[in-house]
Amino acid sequence: MRLTAPRQPLREETGEMPAPGPGQVLIQVRACGVCRTDLHIVDGELPVLDHPVVPGHEIVGVVAALGAGVAGISVGERIGVPWLGWTCGVCSDCVEGRENLCDRARYTGYTLDGGYAQYAVADERYCFALPEEYSSEEAAPLLCAGLIGYRAYGMAGHARRLGFYGFGSAAQILAQLARADGREVYAISRQPEFAMRMGATWAGTEPPVPLDAAIIFAPVGAMAVSALGHVRKGGSVICAGIHMSDLPSFPYSLLWGERVLRSVANLTRAGGLAFFERLRTLRIETVRTVYPLEQANAALSALRSGEVRGTAILSVR
């Protein structure tokens, strides 16, 4: 399924199987999550590409072939491929452990072809081994909603009372993690029953207590400003998405008191390894709606309209 122009339906295409280059693996895709970032790409809300692309960056599949020089991954192994698909390895950010900020980075399903396909090619350095107890459809949302959410969660520090603004794919994962850590989750959501089911302490429109930190999952700038008014002095507001509507003007008094407003950008491999290590002792459950690959446009439409509860997954057979 290929995007040929923004704000146009994906086109179903048949072509030659991609061949892995040096350091790459060919993956037979089993499942691919449908992420809001995919929607931002399709709807032209991120910088528009000058070439067609296959979306999808929550890829789970089986290695079908190896490119030259690949070591540590075997044919037949099940792996996952995330959003960050390549970095230069030599810039100051890469050298200093901030590869997520590499200016030359390439992104799966955006500047690199992704997983809305039967086969995909990926850099072996940016592939993750996956917990065996998760099915492919269960594992797919862990590769962005989980990884980026976990990075945002880490930025909240030791906050005991966490606000989640928007409750979708990432929030359903992090709510379970936060509960396991003994924290309270206050979900500002249009789906309060779903949030409570997935582990929230409270769900509604106005948190009943001051928050220690807030994570903004919805791509709505006004929510970040609202959250500044809900966090206590010294608290943090973390914007977890790649795209957000403009922040409205707000009085300095909302930021004063050493409150922090910050963003999350991409992921690091070290962060990914830490997340999957955490899952060795914590079983995450996700609510999923599964679509066949050829119904990718329907899945994107459902996500756009707010019909999806939890995560949409493309199943590839």
pLDDT tens digits, 43-73: 999 988 888 999 999 999 999 999 999 998 9
As a whole number of angstroms, the distance between CA 38 and CA 32 comes to 11
Tell me the C-alpha distance between 191 and 43, whole Å. 24
Neighbours of 8 (CB within 10 A): 11
Q: Where residue 60 sits, what CATH number does that domain have?
A: 3.90.180.10
In a domain, 33, yes or no: yes
Domain co-membership, 53 together with 115: yes
Q: pTM to 2 decimals? A: 0.93
Q: Which domain holds residue 87?
A: 24-141+287-315
Examine the domain organization and report whether 93 and 154 are in the same domain.
Answer: no
Give the pLDDT confidence of 161-203 residue by residue, as tens digits. Answer: 999 999 999 999 999 999 999 999 999 998 899 999 999 999 9
Domain count, the chain: 2
Strand partners, 315: 31, 292
For residue 35, being part of any structural domain is answered with yes
Tell me, yes or no, whether 115 and 161 share the same domain: no
Q: Kindly state whether residues 239 and 308 are assigned to the same domain.
A: no
Q: What local confidence, expressed as pLDDT, does residue 277 receive?
A: 94
Q: Is residue 278 part of a domain?
A: no
Paired residues of 34 in beta bridges: 312
Q: Taking each helix axis as running N to C, give the angle between helix 269-278 and helix 145-155, from 0 to 180 degrees, rounded to the nearest 10.
A: 90
SS3 307: coil
Is 117 part of any domain?
yes
Residue 249 has a pLDDT of 96
Has residue 270 been placed in a domain? no
d(CA 204, CA 230): 14
Domain containing residue 171: CATH number: 3.40.50.720
Residues lower than pLDDT 70 in the chain: none
Q: Which residue, 263, 278, 303, sits at the end of a domain?
A: 263
Same domain, 42 and 121: yes
The verdict on 135 and 152 lying in the same domain is no
Same domain, 46 and 103: yes
Has residue 58 been placed in a domain?
yes
Which residues 6+ apart lie within 8 Å of 274 measured at CB? 150
Residue 238 lies in a domain: yes
Pair (29, 106) in one structural domain: yes
Helix axes 145-155, 169-180, angle to 10 degrees: 50
295 and 248 part of one domain: no
Residues 305 and 250 in one domain: no
